[in-house]
């Protein structure tokens, strides 16, 4: 594929270089917003799919329940444990199918976690003890089960690296992309305040009775404004060569790390394809 790409470049002589700008990093939401220019919809979707399905994270895969007198069935406890996001150290662990142990399970691809609790108690992710301080529950308050007097829970769990295409519990976060928006006001609408309120994304402002565009990049092309206005009052367009990406991490990895890993997975896939083609 890389060979084909080079040929096209040589024959056609022109390739717009892609541009990437970081637009915003929301620390509270752990969300990175960036703009990529000079790509097409297929490439934008490839990036999204790589982020959601191919970036590995740690999650509990096997659960050995030694004691469970809680109200929940063993399966439900195991399911809840599997869905707890764990902070992930990508340098320290291998995917099992790529590990030197050939998937048998070793310290480079598996991690043991334990949980021991007696009621009365509300059991949360804070009660999970990990043998690796770098891999632990993202949110200590993640609720597991409420134990009443005399109820007990004793568990040994194994976490492994996995990817979202196998199970969503390994997905590193949520990502969306949208066309880069342009919002133009032509003729002033009769009801500027109503249009401002109609937009759920705070795109408009009203000053001196006139509608203006305040946060153009917030526009999601929902068309709520254009649907109620006459032609020529507001025009909303999207550039299909320029995309706004939002990557919101569930906490296992930093958003930047998620994007970097997605790109390195993509490169590895292209390299494999190139090698096999030869």
Binding site for Zn ion (CB under 5 A): 99, 101, 106, 108-109
CB of 238 to ligand SF4, least distance (A): 10
Complex with Zn ion: residue 47 or 161, whichever CB lies closer: 161
Residue 244 touches which of Zn ion, ligand SF4, none (CB < 5 to 8 A by kind)? none
By CB under 6 A, what part of segment 223-242 binds ligand SF4? 223-225, 236
3 state DSSP class of 240: strand
By CB under 6 A, what part of segment 188-217 binds ligand SF4? 198-199, 201, 203
CB atoms under 10 Å from CB of 217, counted, come to 16
Q: Which two tokens stand for residue 154?
A: 């004793």
Residue 223 touches which of ligand SF4, Zn ion, none (CB < 5 to 8 A by kind)? ligand SF4
Task: Check residue 220 for interaction with ligand SF4 (CB under 6 A).
Answer: yes
d(CA 2, CA 19): 20
CB of 99 to Zn ion, least distance (A): 3
d(CA 70, CA 101): 36
CB of 39 to ligand SF4, least distance (A): 22
* 3-state SS record for 148-172: CCCCEEEEEEEEEEECCCCCHHHCC
d(CA 270, CA 264): 10
Strands 152-162 and 57-68, how do they pair? antiparallel
Residue 224 touches which of Zn ion, ligand SF4, none (CB < 5 to 8 A by kind)? ligand SF4
Q: How many residues bind ligand SF4 (CB under 6 A)?
A: 13
C-alpha torsion angle, residues 40, 44, 47, 50 (rounded to 10) = -110
Complex with Zn ion: residue 108 or 214, whichever CB lies closer: 108
Complex with ligand SF4: residue 76 or 217, whichever CB lies closer: 217
Q: Which two tokens stand for residue 159?
A: 């976490």
d(CA 95, CA 108): 9
Complex with ligand SF4: residue 92 or 224, whichever CB lies closer: 224
Using CB under 6 A as the criterion, what x/- string covers residues 145-184 for binding ligand SF4? --------------------------------------x-
Contact between 55 and 253 under an 8 Å Cβ cutoff? The reply is yes
Strand order of the β-sheet with 234-249 is 19-26, 31-37, 234-249, 173-185
CB of 57 to Zn ion, least distance (A): 17
Residue 225 touches which of ligand SF4, Zn ion, none (CB < 5 to 8 A by kind)? ligand SF4
Q: Residues in the site for ligand SF4, rule: CB under 6 A?
A: 183, 198-199, 201, 203, 219-225, 236
């Amino acid at each position: 594929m890389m060979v084909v790409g080079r040929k096209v470049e040589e024959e056609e002589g022109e390739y717009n270089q892609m541009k990437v700008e970081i637009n915003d990093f929301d620390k509270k939401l752990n969300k990175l917003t960036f703009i990529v220019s000079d790509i097409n919809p297929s490439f934008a979707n490839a990036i999204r799919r790589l982020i959601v399905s191919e970036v590995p994270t740690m999650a509990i895969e096997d659960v050995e329940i030694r004691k469970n007198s809680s109200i929940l069935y063993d399966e439900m406890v195991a399911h809840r444990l599997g869905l707890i996001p764990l902070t992930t150290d990508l340098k320290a662990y291998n995917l099992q199918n790529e590990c030197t142990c050939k998937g048998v399970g070793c310290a480079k691809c598996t991690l043991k976690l334990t949980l021991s609790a007696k009621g009365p108690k509300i059991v949360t992710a804070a009660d999970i003890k990990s043998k690796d301080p770098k891999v632990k529950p993202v949110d200590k308050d993640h609720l597991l089960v409420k134990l009443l007097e005399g109820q007990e829970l004793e568990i040994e769990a194994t976490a492994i690296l996995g990817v979202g295409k196998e199970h969503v519990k390994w997905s590193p976060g949520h990502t969306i992309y949208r066309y880069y928006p342009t919002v133009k006001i032509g003729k002033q609408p009769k009801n500027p305040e109503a249009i401002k309120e109609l937009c759920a994304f705070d795109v408009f402002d009203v000053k001196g009775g006139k509608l203006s565009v305040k946060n153009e990049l917030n526009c999601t092309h929902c068309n709520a404004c254009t649907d109620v206005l006459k032609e020529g009052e507001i025009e909303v367009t999207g550039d299909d060569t320029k995309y706004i990406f939002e990557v919101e991490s569930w906490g296992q990895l930093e958003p930047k790390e998620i994007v970097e890993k997605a790109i390195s997975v993509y490169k590895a896939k292209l390299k494999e394809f190139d090698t096999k083609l030869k």
